[in-house]
Structure 1
Amino acid sequence: MNARSYGFYEDLVSEFFSKSWLMFHCIVFRRAAVKAELHSSRDIQIRKHFGMLLRKKIAYFSKAGADRRYRVRVDPLPTRYAREHEAVGNIVNAQLRKDLGDLRDDLDTPLLHDIRACDSARTVGIQVSDVLLGAVLAAWQQQVSSAPKLKLLAHVAWQLGWNDLRSDTKPHVWKFNVWHFLGAGEPREVDTRPVKLRYPMPVWRPR
């Protein structure tokens, strides 16, 4: 992004926040917080955290027992296992059956319908997610010096009613949610802030 393209990205962010049918959820953690000795490989670490995010979010939005199905589209995971996405889907569905078994009548139909790796250059939804995730990570890492990028970070924060993006959110915040995952004994880096959207959204309720 540069000064010439900034207007496009600002409009993209504003469009995202104005639509009630779009949401963004991410998990943020320090790599040092992950205990490598508890995982047999880097591939397993990636699988665990990706699966954990999907499991928590799908379970949260499915607690009402509604007839929902989730189709996940992601960039190819950076692992050596060609069928990693299929493995994650099988694991997450098994966990969801355990988590929500008493709330769902149809246990034979998986909530997570499928996970497909897509070329982000051809997938608009992934591109929008990349912009928002890039803004969050840039704010947490504090390594951005480009004026247009700093301006975009400020615009995203403004949409949330924040001064900057170095914060996480409460679990119930559905429009823009940042989950700060902490390792055992790891101190919090940021405070959790309330979100005050510039485009008011309805409160999410199970139905």
Structure 2
Amino acid sequence: MNPKHLPNLISVARILLVYPVVSLLLQQRFGAALALFVVAGLSDGVDGFLAKHYHWQSRLGSYLDPLADKLLLISSYVALGWLGLMPVWLVGLVVLRDLVIFGGAVAYYFMLRPFEGQPTLLSKLNTVLQLVLVFAVIVRQGIAPFPAAVAEALLWLTAFTTLASGAHYVQVWGSSYWREKQRQGPDAA
């Protein structure tokens, strides 16, 4: 095995952790779910470090890494919402944001070309807050005391950044689309 494939293998392993994390959450085995959730989070940092530090980035990795993140986050939000531990409106907002971003990327691809965007600082902040909120909700389930006021603040910050980052992507892609269409002229199909 070529070491440059290690980041992609770690991303695949993170994808494979989604089912056990969700299964443990639904069984309300919160300690074990939290342990796997932390392992998945740490593996995200490891694969990113390896890819950047050793220049082992790949096109496949550019798809696998965010896919692994989104699968873990969305699945965790849905499971926690199912258990009544996460507000349904927030679960819907998180899922809707990602559907809008994915739909926008697909539409942009078919209408113009692949979108060459990178995650924005706001989007990265949103991902961190989403992860921290899942962590906090799981920890509050008897693993360790976690102040309710902090969890409530995290919830509202996560909701705000979810809305703001989703709107920002729509604005960026929409502006890029209209600039490109104007550059192509009125005869562009």
TM-score of the superposition, structure 2-length normalised? Answer: 0.28
- Structure ranking higher in helix proportion: 2
Q: Structure with the greater relative contact order (CA < 8 A, sep ≥ 6): 1 or 2?
A: 1
- Structure ranking higher in strand proportion: 1
TM-score of the superposition, structure 1-length normalised? Answer: 0.27
